[in-house]
Structure 1
Amino acid sequence: MSVIYYSIGEFAQKTGTTIRTLRYYDEIGLLSPKKHPHSGRRMYTDDDVLILQKIVSLKFLGYSLEQIHQLLNQTRLDLSLRETLEMQRRLFEEKRKSIEQAIKAMDRILFLLREEKEVDNEVIMSLIHSLQTENEQRRWLEQYLPQSLIDSLFHKSEADMMAMDREWVRLTKKAKQLAGTPVDHPEVEALMEQYMNATLTFVGPDTMQMLGRLEQVEEMVREAETCNWMPSPFTKEEEQWLHQAMEHYMVKKGLIE
């Protein structure tokens, strides 16, 4: 049976591939058809159709052209494909988790923007950075807390997380408005109490008790401050004032000496 040859234009039309792509595949040795002995023009056959189908299928599975080239040169494609498919699946699983995390972050930010109308860019960027580093935060907490408590911190409902975000934004805006006000002013003391209540609500009494019993709690706090998981939305002056206001409140309440 005689072999049917296709020009590059005919082959492109037959397979739904662009001429530019076919030329590139030929240049890198991925799909190299026979050449006409006199004109040097590419001459594709039905065997090339099968090779192209393999290339398209492997690209769909996420393989790079270099990986596809290696696979096509394997004498036992089934074994190599099985091994690399397992690796590809793991990579896609990681990508899926990252995409899901990004979508959740977008939903929470959009919720804030709808509810609060106006939110400082510094506050939004700080929150986004915190959402991006949740996995690092979990790994760090594993050094100090039982897994059950860590799970309780991060496995909250979306509604609870959005409510927490909104409260954090509200408190941050209020703190910026009051920054510089005497720390013994009733409004400032009320704000500090709201900060404490919000922290207790989010962390929970069990975790607070656990933290209170930790011998390394001071070390834990110092290390947390250097990790930069949630860049401060405050200026240095605002941070200093906030620290003084919280210290005054805690002394007044007998929480510290």
Structure 2
Amino acid sequence: MAMRVKEVADLVGISVRTLHYYDEIGLLTPEETTESGYRLYTDDDLEKLQQILFFKELGFPLKKIKEMINSPSFDRYKALVLQRKMLLEKRRRLDKMIATIDKTIKHMKGEIQMTNKEKFEGFDFSRNPYEQEARELWGDEAVDKANAKIGSKSQDEQEAMAKAMDSIFKKLAALRHGSPESEEAQAAIKEWYDFLNKNFGCYSPEAFKGLGQMYVDDDRFTKNIDRFGEGLAKFMRDAMAIFADSKK
């Protein structure tokens, strides 16, 4: 059952203003609304909010969180596994610091003697290694690699890529009024999947599915794709999801 912003704020323990701010910056923008225009948070929105708050707790800035969770390759399961590792690492450091505080109190009471090295056990200002792992999975590195791959191609190769893309989009546009499950639609979407993997890097079926959702969620993608035919972005999203699910 969808929830209003005040209900979500009470459930999670954050302010309504925080949720409004996440909406304003495009970090968490629920699509469902009431007849009066109030935002409604679905289970999917709550799952996304959970991801945001886990990353926030781990010290990621909101701009980086937005970049990661909106990445076509974002995988919620992988994110949870990584977040668990990061939280365990954080707990390990906190336990060390608490032990250092306890020792320091005893040292002040004259019960024990501490070395200077012992006074700073638990302090570690080096970068968390798992933060780099997160950036590599869902950050700007994948984009950098894709851009570098395109930039390494000659002008003729880039023109050939553009023609191939147009051909695939036109083929899909001609099929968009039919079922995305049809043999023809799935054959055409497989062409798109193979094209992306050949020219832009390695897309897992799950990342491919996420990319399809972005075609609808991001107005820039929708506008560009729908130049080939109104409703093409939604058709591609559905076809890509069906294709990805068939590979599981």
Q: TM-score, normalised by structure 1?
A: 0.33
